[in-house]
Every structure is written in C-alpha cells, then in structure tokens.
Structure 1
C-alpha cells in the first residue's frame, strides 16, 4: 500500500511540474500587441473627433437656417 501511495505521489508531483512549466512557457510565447492597441486607440480618437466636429457643424447649420427663416418671417 505504501508503494502505491508513493507512486501516486510522484505522479501527482510530475503532473504539477508539467502544468507549471506549461503555463510558464505559454506566457513566454505571448505576442506583443501594444502597437496594434495604440493604432486602434489613435483610430478611435480620430473617429471621435470627426463625430464631434460633425455634430457641432450640423447644430451650427441648423441654428443658421433657423435664424434665416426667422428673418424671412418678419
């Protein structure tokens, strides 16, 4: 019985070592995506700026058309 317990203990230790080394090597092979993330942030900032500019332009045009129509009604 002791021999069986020893065999199971060594198998468990080997499995733990294998799992630990596999997880350690997986992080070593991780790709660096910082350039891609920075490019996406820059694109997002550009799109956000374009949207805000468009909203302000539409509001200004609407206000100007309202002023013109108000002047015609007088």
Structure 2
C-alpha cells in the first residue's frame, strides 16, 4: 500500500510540474500588443475630440440661429 501511495505522490508531483511549466511557457510566448493598444487609444482620442468639437459647433450654430430669429421677430 505504501508503494502505491509513493507512486501516486510521484505522479502528482510530475503533473504539477508539467502544469506549472506549461503555464510558464504560455506567458513567455505571449505577444506584445502595446503598439496596437496605443494606436487604438490615439484613434479613440482623436475621434472623441472630433465629436466634442462637432457637438459644440452645432450647439453654437443653433444658439446663433435662435438669437437671430428672436431678434427678427421683435
């Protein structure tokens, strides 16, 4: 019975070593995507700036047209 327990303990240790080494090698081969992420952040910032500028422009035009119409009515 002790022999079976020793064999199981050895197999368990080998399985743990295999899993640990597989996880370690998977993280070592992970691709570096920092350039793509930085490019996406830059594009998102540019798009956000364009949208905010557009919204402010439309609001200003609407205010000016409303002001002109109200002055023409008086």
TM-score (norm 2): 0.97
List structure 1 runs of 4+ shifted beyond 3 angstroms: none
- 2:19 aligns with 19
Paired residues in the alignment total 74
C-alpha displacement of 1:67: 1.0
Quote how far apart the aligned CAs of 1:42 are: 0.3
Which segments of 5 or more consecutive residues in structure 1 lack a partner in the other structure?
Answer: none
1:1-74 map, 5 Å: 1-74=1-74
- Separation in structure 2 between the aligned mates of residue 49 and residue 70 of structure 1, nearest angstrom: 32
Q: TM-score normalized by structure 1?
A: 0.97
Q: CA RMSD in A?
A: 0.5
Partner of 1:31: helix, strand, or coil?
coil
How far the C-alpha of 1:47 sits from its partner, in A, is: 0.6
Shift of 1:51: 0.6
Q: Secondary structure at the match of 1:30?
A: coil
Secondary structure, in 3 states, of the residue corresponding to 1:43? helix
How many Å apart are 1:71 and its aligned residue?
1.3
